[in-house]
Amino acid sequence: MVPTIVTHSPEETHALGAQWGKQAQPGWIIGLIGDLGAGKTQLVKGIAQGIGITSRVQSPTFTLVHEYSGGRFPLYHLDLYRLEDEAAIRSAGLEQYLYQQTGVTVIEWADRWPDLDALKQQTKRPYRFVQMEPISEFERRITYEDFGA
């Protein structure tokens, strides 16, 4: 059974992310899927806090990647929203973040990643696949599945 969590406010979504950030280990990949306004960036802000990062976390929609340091290890925050196809994603040079061992990589709009099923099924890296769905203005249904080591 796939774990499902319902958060009732942006603060609860943030707190869930903080809990995951406290559990996170270098090399982890967290892929987020959900429409605009689903709470993906709010969850990432919590993950950053749980890792111990105090910098302001923003969606990297226009820059594709934000790298945050200052916590237990770095956070690499990717956003694939503006990349329209596989060629654009591959030419952006983002694959290096899947193979880094020093921090946690979080990918917003992970369903745009080429070969997502291969990424989920790989066994060398822990990968958390997260789907976020708005239920109401403040409530979010968050389901996730863990793959890999």
Q: pLDDT tens for residues 44-57?
A: 999 999 999 999 99
Most confident of the following: 6-10, 108-112, 124-128: 6-10
For the chain, give the mean pLDDT: 89
Q: What would the mean pLDDT of 80-87 be, rounded to a whole number?
A: 82
C-alpha R_g of the chain:
14
Matching CATH number, 23-141, of 3.40.50.11540, 3.40.50.300, 3.40.190.10, 3.40.50.150: 3.40.50.300
Asked whether residue 123 carries a pLDDT value surpassing 60, the answer given is no
The reported pLDDT for the residue numbered 120 is 66
pLDDT bucket at 33, cuts 50 / 70 / 90: very high
